[in-house]
Chain A
Amino acid sequence: MTALAWLVPLALLMGALGLAAFLWSLKVGQYEDLEGSAYRALEDEPPAAGERR
């Protein structure tokens, strides 16, 4: 039963990390152009200045 003492917080922490990652990606605009990002991943050239927002 003592395993619960650290397993439960660990599980919650991992879930919270996932949530935080999603909220962050939403905030920096990674979902603003889903189609375009698919193509950008295939670009060889380094991203132009100011491309990251």
Chain B
Amino acid sequence: MDRHGAMSAPETSPACAADDTGAAAGSACRTISRVEATVTAARGAAPAPSATKTITLDVENMVCGGCMRKVETALAAVPGVISAKANLASKRANVVIGDAQEADAGKLIGALGAIGFGAKEFAPEAMPSAKQTVTLAVENMVCGGCMRKVETALAAVPGVISARTNLSAKRVTVVFGEAREGGAGKLIDALAAIGFNAAELAPETIQTGPDTGRYLLNRLAVAGFAAMNIMLFSVSVWASSDASDPTHSLFHWISAIIAVPAVAYSGQPFFRSAWEALKRLRVNMDVPISLAIFLATAMSVFQTIKGSDQVYFDAGVSLLFFLLIGRYLDQRVRVRARGAAENLLSLKAQWAYVIDKDGSVERLPSRLVEPGMRLAVAAGERFPADGVIVHGTTSIDESLITGETLPREAQANATVYAGSVNLGAPVEMEARAAEADTLLAQIARLMETAEQARGRYVRLADRAAEFYAPAVHTLAATSFAGWMIAGAGWEYSLTIAIAVLIITCPCALALAVPAVQVAASARLFDRGILLKAADGLERLADADTVVFDKTGTLTAGVPSLANGAGIADADLKAAAALATSSRHPYAQAVTAAAKARFGSVQAVSGIEETPGAGLCRVTDAGEERLGSASWCGVSQGEAGAASLWYARPGAKPVAFRFEDKLREDAAETISVLKNADYEIVLLSGDREEAVKIAASAAGIEDWHAALKPQEKIERIEALKAQGRHVLMVGDGLNDAPALAAAHASLSPSTAADVSQTASDAVFQGARLMPLIELLATARKTRTMAFQNFAIAAGYNMLFIPLAMAGMVTPLIAAIAMSTSSIIVTVNALRLRTAKLELAQ
């Protein structure tokens, strides 16, 4: 939860100061048209209070290395500047200043102006492209008609130049003509008016850097083009056996002209990754791949120059083409899952009602709330930020933070956390920065250490590569050495070594595993499960122990009436009639119980709500009341028996007790898991009685209550120490460190943001069964990945001896490899529709 700490301070730069002073260092400053200014406060990921501040300047006419040095020197000479770094490519300078009193942007710009450089402050959100563009996630845009409706509605909003929907991503990009006020609120309102649920995507989640999908697709296209054309030439060359035919030489030369640039361009992803690995003295799968492609190409160029017929451009380029397909598929799964997860998170994001100094209330997305702002929080709403209560008394449901289901009373000066629900009266709060000793900061620290542990997980394909790559190299080197000793000459020996390299090139690792994962994540996506981590499926398949959180995970997370059976029909009916007018969770639970019993609830008029106390209505007989114990006149002694009371004239007050009910299929899910030999543990931050009831209802024997986040991690570490692979399922902020510490993790889509971010997968809906589907799919995915390894290994076992014996030319090697690629891909696609059951 990083707070965006940028404040806007428009300021006019002294335009062309250099011309006036005449101190221009040869470079005249003529063209300063845009004036942008912002002070970007240093944004540390950690909430460490930093006294330093970074100012970024756009330096207009910094065009050479000399200018760069001049700029840096001039900036460093300004009092208060700690360091200054100029970047020639982006024409920007980053200045770190220690004390805002001594140096500010104006002084820096002045210093640059004095040596002839026009500068202004760089503002990320003031850049033409960023300033005027807003991206919204639109939840229920599903058809062509919706697209048109959304675009028309947005175009009608004043100031909007264009609106462009993207149906696949369920997003819409809106371009504004001028700077806008109040965020994307107007756009979201306009969409809400025609029935679409939309939310603004945080600017930092929208990809601005190089698009890896396009990067790979460009290379894939070039490799495909080259492979097709070279293959055509090869067919004609191989068709005639007369090596002295001049067309052979011609076709080899044309192939070389196509292949060399194509390999240099399309091979980059592999070469780069292989080089990175070699630099760290490690071997990954890209090393033999790069070696095979490079050797095949270099060898073929040599043979072409020599005029020999042993030319294998086709093999190298088609290998590259197939491998790039795998790389691209792998990347697409990740991007798609991440985009969907981002949409989900922003749609969940909420508004904060900021009280200005003059008392007016402004609506702002809660991520833009800054420390010091005063916020109004109505009853029934979630607190949008961490802070303290300034005005009012209320009760707070902190179940998402601590797992505790009983509301906590809070007065002025009480600390509140983002995500907890205000159950009582409207309150005013002041947002505070996350401090080192708050629960949130503590959880952030715990998560950091926990995540490091997971970072050590090595993906299946990489683990296979660890023993596979050396084996491939050894085999190739052995065949080369063997044929050299046998006196075959180095060219022939090298050709055979290349054939061995190409044959053993593990397409099962490079293509089949991504293909299986694409099929698996598409399958899960259809069933409402979002896979977030690329290696999540592999880790989920390892799981043998499932650790549940209680509140919001095993349970639905909303209160429901517990003692309904003990309440007379007439009482429930009358209480529900009052309750319908309130948004309080307890009132809604009463209404829901009445609806379940009577089918419908009769609304009555004349109800008054006193926030923090309850509801009342004056009838002929007297006053009816529904609310807290004191509101209904219940004596202190009895008050503890229930959380809601109903009082009517001349009758004893009726007590309403609430509980957080299990998800309807929780017990069933647990029993399926048990049948499949999973160990089940319940770790909750809630009170012992509540956990005990939930555990016995769900059929869990191993449960622990009243755990702090740290203790949850300790339990998980203890399980890990026993050699268990733990799958953590949780939703609360207090579960986030445990989610990060566990081998794999899952959270419902109602979970706290931090928890969703920490988990490998997110499931939607009120049922718990997606967990079973997820585990079954993960296991099947692993099985299929192994099947594909087996297919590829089978091919290798058949062809490697032949290749080492010199009976397979690189061309045949390339064909064999392509066939195995196609077979494993088709095998993977079966997963999309397969019927799965979670077996032992």
A48 touches B155 (CB 8 A): yes
A42 touches B221 (CB 8 A): no
B162 touches A36 (CB 8 A): no
- Smallest Cβ distance from B179 to chain A, in angstroms? 18
Which bucket holds chain B's interface residue count?
20 to 34
Interface residue SS majority, chain A: helix
Report the nearest A residue to B142, measured CB to CB: A35
Report the nearest B residue to A31, measured CB to CB: B217
> CA A40 – CA B167 in complex, angstroms?
10
Report the nearest B residue to A37, measured CB to CB: B167
B254 touches A22 (CB 8 A): no
- List B residues 205-264 near A (Cβ within 8 Å): 214, 217-218, 221-222, 225, 228-229, 232, 247, 250, 254, 258
A19 touches B225 (CB 8 A): yes
Does B147 count as interface, using CB distance less than 8 angstroms? yes
B164 touches A53 (CB 8 A): yes
- List A residues 29-51 near B (Cβ within 8 Å): 31-36, 38-40, 42-43, 45, 48-51
Contact A39/B162 with A26-B217, A33-B169 known, Cβ cut-off 8 Å: no
Report the nearest B residue to A8, measured CB to CB: B254
A26 touches B221 (CB 8 A): yes
B247 touches A33 (CB 8 A): no
Interface residue SS majority, chain B: helix
> CA A32 – CA B214 in complex, angstroms?
10
Interface string of A1-35 (1 = CB under 8 A from B): 10010001001100110110011001100011111
A23 touches B221 (CB 8 A): yes
> CA A42 – CA B143 in complex, angstroms?
12
Contacts of A11 in B (CB 8 A): 229, 232
Does B175 count as interface, using CB distance less than 8 angstroms? yes
Contacts of B148 in A (CB 8 A): 43, 45
B229 touches A15 (CB 8 A): yes
Report the nearest A residue to B222, measured CB to CB: A19
B247 touches A18 (CB 8 A): no
> CA A52 – CA B217 in complex, angstroms?
21
A15 touches B228 (CB 8 A): yes
Does B74 count as interface, using CB distance less than 8 angstroms? no
- Smallest Cβ distance from A29 to chain B, in angstroms? 9
B225 touches A50 (CB 8 A): no
> CA A22 – CA B148 in complex, angstroms?
27
- List B residues 151-198 near A (Cβ within 8 Å): 151, 155, 161-169, 175
Contacts of A31 in B (CB 8 A): 217
> CA A4 – CA B163 in complex, angstroms?
52
B229 touches A4 (CB 8 A): no
- List B residues 377-427 near A (Cβ within 8 Å): none
Does B637 count as interface, using CB distance less than 8 angstroms? no
Contacts of A38 in B (CB 8 A): 144
Report the nearest A residue to B160, measured CB to CB: A50
B147 touches A36 (CB 8 A): yes
Contacts of A48 in B (CB 8 A): 151, 155, 162-163
> CA A25 – CA B48 in complex, angstroms?
47
Name 4 extra pairs, CB < 8 A, besides A35-B167, A50-B164.
A19-B222, A23-B218, A26-B218, A50-B175
- Return 22 A-B CB contacts under 8 Å, by A number: A12-B229, A12-B254, A12-B258, A15-B228, A16-B225, A19-B222, A19-B225, A26-B218, A32-B168, A33-B165, A33-B166, A33-B168, A35-B167, A36-B165, A36-B166, A36-B167, A38-B144, A43-B148, A45-B148, A50-B175, A51-B162, A53-B164
Chain A to chain B: the 5 pairs with minimum beta-carbon distance, closest first: A39-B144, A50-B162, A36-B167, A33-B166, A35-B167
